[in-house]
Structure 1
Amino acid sequence: MKDFQKQITKYLSLCGLLLFIVQPLEATEWGDLSGQFIYTGKPPAPHPKKLKIPQNQSLVIGKNGGIKNICFYLRETFSQNIKIHSSYNQLPKKVFLSHQNSIYEPHVSGLWYERQQLICINKDPHPHLIQFFTLRNHFPDRLPKEINNQRTFRFHTHEIVPVPVKCKMHPWESAYLMVLAHPYFTSTDETGAFTIKNLPVGDHEFKVWHEQLGNIEAKDEWKRGRIKIKIKPGKNDLGVIKVSPKLVKKQ
């Protein structure tokens, strides 16, 4: 009986040792990627208050010079068979895009098309006529007007570039939608900052794009807005990325 108890004790100790070894290894398989885009020039002047047209959202510069709405995402050609962290199973199944005060909110958003669907809501008292300028997914040329209701859109494959979304009744009303086959995408906030969490460790290539700046080539090696990054365990910080007025003028 004592020999049996000793064997059990050794077995449990070995299991505990294996858990101690395996858990740190699992924890090191993932890394977070972050950075901040700062515009070094003078922010564009806002519309005069007397104009009723909503503020132009194509280039939004924050108080600290941060550039909002820069799309940062893992390129599709580098996403085949990529590991997806279990935390992304908690993502909501619906992504919302609203007509509100005659603009789209949010201006830039992302969609993991295999897991999520787009819900477009009209919160204005007047009708809107949504239009998607897709390359690979197909929708009717003239979708029904949206009046105080919501519509569901399902995408069947990923898009190569962010999809322009327009309102045919209000030409200033626009948005952009990243439609991808994975959840590794984000856009910068009003401070120009971004974070993509729980990327698998290894070599990846990302795309950096903005509706007015185009493919962001903030550094010489960023050809066509493509960045090769080796993701290491834990935090991977690109720091402050300066965007000069020359890049704006080039577009």
Structure 2
Amino acid sequence: MKQYCSFLALAVALSTGDVLAQEWGHLKGKIVVNGAVPKLAPLVKEGANVKDANVCAVKDLPDDSLVVGENGELANCFVYLYMRRGTPEIHPDLKKPAEPAVKLDNLQCRFLPHAGIVRTDQVLNTINSDACGHNVHTFPLKNNAHNLLISANDNKGVNLEFSQGELLPMQIKCDIHPWMTAYWMVVDHPYATVTDSEGNFLIENMPAGKHTIRIWHERVGYIERSLDVEIKGGEASDLGTTKVDADKLAG
């Protein structure tokens, strides 16, 4: 009898674990440019007469607003779960962020990473690896804006906090060096990402069911404003390849 009860308990545990595994799934896809990619001039040319030229004009500074691979792979697209109200059910492994802070660096008069995600239960630690001062000026829709100076070679930096998820990525600028911009998305859940250098994205452990996804890029705006997807438990739902017309990226 004792052996039977032990077997029954094990069977129930395994069955419950299998059911729980079926309640979560992944979302993946790829974003590419359709057509000839526009060539962008450097934001600052080597030797240009700009402020802090000894730091900012040592070499050409690329325009990070458009990063495209050899085969049209579009980096820095934001892909995120959109909800009109409330927050989604969150996988137990994702209830807390992997790290309490994410880092944004002022490096060679660029914001790096140029695009990223920060949760409301994280801080955006903004540092300065340059030998000149910068400021970090955020332009959110829902949160309070930040506008703070960061001294040269400040590896401790300043921590930016956000209390609400945003509807779309916010712009970040350095007013001292006006070509410096970045875009970061503030979310109150873990279901958001940015496409990598190969245009790929993966959002893991989403709750099974029907959801609305938004895809956004700084030179286009919404690529998909309200894309309905269905996440199947225990599977990776593949959106396939999303194409963005090259002429939309030229402006």
Report the TM-score when normalising by structure 2. 0.87
Q: For residue 135 of structure 2, what is the aligned residue in structure 1?
A: 129
- Gapped runs of 5+ residues in structure 1? 1-6, 218-224
1:44 aligns with 2:41: no
C-alpha distance in structure 2 between counterparts of 1:14 and 1:50, whole Å = 70
More strand by share: 2
C-alpha distance in structure 2 between counterparts of 1:8 and 1:134, whole Å = 61
- Gapped runs of 5+ residues in structure 2? 47-59
Q: For residue 110 of structure 2, what is the aligned residue in structure 1?
A: 103
Q: Which structure is larger by alpha-carbon Rg, 1 or 2?
A: 1
CA contact (8 A) 2:104 2:124 kept: yes
AA at the equivalent of 2:243? K
CA contact (8 A) 2:80 2:193 kept: yes
Q: How does 1:1-251 map to 2 (within 5 A)?
A: 7-47=1-41, 51-52=45-46, 53-77=60-84, 80-88=86-94, 89=96, 91-113=98-120, 115-139=121-145, 142-149=147-154, 150-217=157-224, 225-233=225-233, 234-248=235-249
CA contact (8 A) 1:39 1:65 kept: yes
Superimposed CA distance per residue, residues 210-232 of structure 1 (whole angstroms, 9 cap, x where no aligned partner): 00011114xxxxxxx21111111
Superimposed CA distance per residue, residues 66-120 of structure 1 (whole angstroms, 9 cap, x where no aligned partner): 0010000011426x2422112223511101000001100101111111x211100
C-alpha distance in structure 2 between counterparts of 1:68 and 1:228, whole Å = 22
CA contact (8 A) 2:125 2:160 kept: yes
CA contact (8 A) 2:42 2:61 kept: no
Number of aligned residue pairs: 234
CA contact (8 A) 1:127 1:145 kept: yes
**CA shift at 1:146, angstroms?**
3.0
C-alpha distance in structure 1 between counterparts of 2:76 and 2:103, whole Å = 16
More helix by share: 1
C-alpha distance in structure 2 between counterparts of 1:100 and 1:50, whole Å = 14
Q: For residue 49 of structure 2, what is the aligned residue in structure 1?
A: none
C-alpha distance in structure 1 between counterparts of 2:4 and 2:42, whole Å = 77
CA contact (8 A) 1:137 1:155 kept: yes
SS in 2 for 1:216: strand
Rate the CA distance shift 1:133–1:173 in 2: closer, same or farther, 3 A.
same
- Runs of 4+ more than 4 Å apart: none
RMSD: 1.9
